[in-house]
Amino acid sequence: MGGVGSGNWYRFEKKTTTNECHRVDVRHLHREGLLKPGRWFSLRWSRAGRETGSIRGVVSRHGQPEQITLLYRHRSGLDGEWEEVQEPVRLSWTKCNFGGERPWFVCPNAGCGRRVAILYGPGRYFLCRHCYDLAYQSQRDNAMNRALHKAQFIRERLGGSANMMEPFPEKPKGMHLETYMKMFWQHHEAEMEHLAGMREWLDRLQKELG
């Protein structure tokens, strides 16, 4: 029932990052000349030299492309059955300042309709970053650093050193025990958040190095 390491005392609000997801970038498709009526294309994703997924797509056949259909397989969890998915995605075109037009995906999630350059696939469908509430990796790293700075600030406020390897400062004379314990647990929570972020960073580095 409660205690160190439970509840709010150990909380690292981990959001999936855009780097962790398969993605389809409409700018890449446009640069490669793949947004032509009736054109088929395929994309493959890999990490550390190992293929992690693939997708096919077909562009609408008439006039200026207004839609692509993404075709891929998806399963929920490691034990789930594979299912074939066909996801239609509308395209929107805007004029560039110096001539020509640039394409956008229109997020296919019901009630969204944002115009975006990239769709991400951490779930069954490819949707925009906002619909999946994805964070950029820089945001994750910044949260880790903020947690460290918060813990160091508490240590210095108690008259101790910012060095996290040193023991937590003792209660200053004249400070109420309740105030001291509140700062102790705030420090503990920030320290746990920082350590969780460090573990994720090390795991990510190990994957990138193979």
Which burial class, exposed, middle or buried, applies to 181 when counting CB atoms under 10 A from its CB (0-12, 13-18, 19+)?
exposed
Q: What is the pLDDT of residue 141?
A: 59
SS3 label, residue 51: strand
Quote the pLDDT of residue 5. 28
Residues ≥6 apart with Cβ < 8 Å to 161: 155, 169
* pLDDT score at 96: 85
CA-nearest of 179, 147, 149 to 162 is 149
C-beta of residue 124 within 8 angstroms of C-beta of residue 85? yes
Tokens of 168: 């937590």
CA distance 210 to 199: 16
pLDDT score at 140: 59
- 10-residue stretch averages of pLDDT, the chain, 210 residues long: 30 63 91 91 81 90 81 84 92 86 93 93 91 74 77 87 88 90 91 83 73
- pLDDT, residue 105, reads 95
Whole-angstrom Cα distance, residue 193 to residue 210? 26
Instruction: Return d(Cα 190, Cα 177) in angstroms, integer.
Output: 20
Cβ atoms of 83 and 74 within 8 Å: the answer is yes
